[in-house]
Amino acid sequence: MDKFKHTQMVTYLYLKNLREMLEYSTNGRKKTKQDYDTKKKIFEQAIAEKGFLTEMVFKSNPDQAEKLKETYEDFLYDVFNERVITFEDNQMNFDDAMKMNFFKSIFQVRELFFSIALSQIRFAKNDKKENYDADVENLIFKEDALYRTVFMLVLHIAIRDQFLEFVKEMNNSKGNQNPQTNFITNILSEYLRMASGIMNGNQGINDSDFEEAKHRLKTTIDAITGRLGKKTLQDQENYFVAAREAIDKALVKFEKEWYEIYTPLVKETLEFEKNIQQK
């Protein structure tokens, strides 16, 4: 591994950590205070004096540096904040009321790091071919597929929860809209727009399981928004179940593919850093 490839892997690890932060919005896999604190430190260091973004982005884009830094600081506030995530006896608590900003901030900052990763690949391919590594490029795109599938999963959960809340409120109000139903509808609309962006921003992914997961989630959205005509609540729930099954299937596949290419590359990265430290 040379320095350029190491820089690519450092960029990649930010992408990996951002994808893992999405999972903090669910009650699935175990999240520890130690892992959370480690991620927080990694992302805070990125804008330190000699940090990754300071050196790689801010200094080379002085006209945009302030705006980019402000966006990044908003991300730190929206994601690594005790209003959002707290721990008690290493048990994580996530405030669902903060979920929208949490998702938006991860999406924005992830786009920044992904653009850096793509620019590094283009540079190696076009200007410094001796530094091009097909495995790193493959890892970046495997990560993108995994990230988008995880995002579909967490949005599926958020959309379903918000939709059921809407149904409950409409039942309570005997079918009459009110400020609360309007509030819920606005949040649901934000989630639906976000889901569209995640599903449609995947030009580099050509996979039948991913397409099926997209199709099932889009169909579910059409079912709850009336585009498929009038549906019973059970019909709509069946669409949610089918979408979840398709997303889970794609997730299992992509995690396996990702792990196979990630493992040797991260091992090589750790060995490179160990050798640097010993010099």
- Which residue is listed with tokens 């579909």? 152
Residue 84 sits at φ, ψ, to 5 deg, of: -100, -55
d(CA 263, CA 209): 23
pLDDT of 205: 85
pLDDT of 28: 62
32 alpha-carbon distance from chain centroid: 19
Q: Which helix (H) or strand (E) holds 60?
A: none
100 alpha-carbon distance from chain centroid: 13
Per-residue model confidence as pLDDT tens for the chain (279 residues):
889 999 999 999 999 999 999 999 987 667 899 999 999 999 999 999 999 999 999 998 889 999 999 999 999 999 998 899 999 888 899 999 999 999 999 999 999 999 999 999 999 998 888 889 999 999 999 999 999 999 999 999 999 999 999 999 999 888 888 999 999 999 999 999 999 999 987 667 889 999 999 999 999 999 999 999 999 999 999 999 999 999 999 999 999 999 999 999 999 999 999 988 887
CA distances from 120 to 4, 48, 52, 63 (A): 9, 22, 14, 21
HEC states along 106-168?
HHHHHHHHHHHHHHHHHHHHHCCHHHCCHHHHHHHHHHHHHHHHHHHHHHHHHHHHHHHHHHH
Phi-psi bin for 89: left (phi > 0), alpha (psi -120 to 50), beta? left
Please answer whether residues 84 and 74 qualify as being in contact, where contact means their C-beta atoms are separated by less than 8 angstroms. no
d(CA 32, CA 34): 5
Q: Which residues pair with 198 in a beta bridge?
A: none
CA distances from 271 to 70, 130, 266 (A): 35, 21, 9
Nearest to 80 by CA among 28, 27, 42, 26: 42
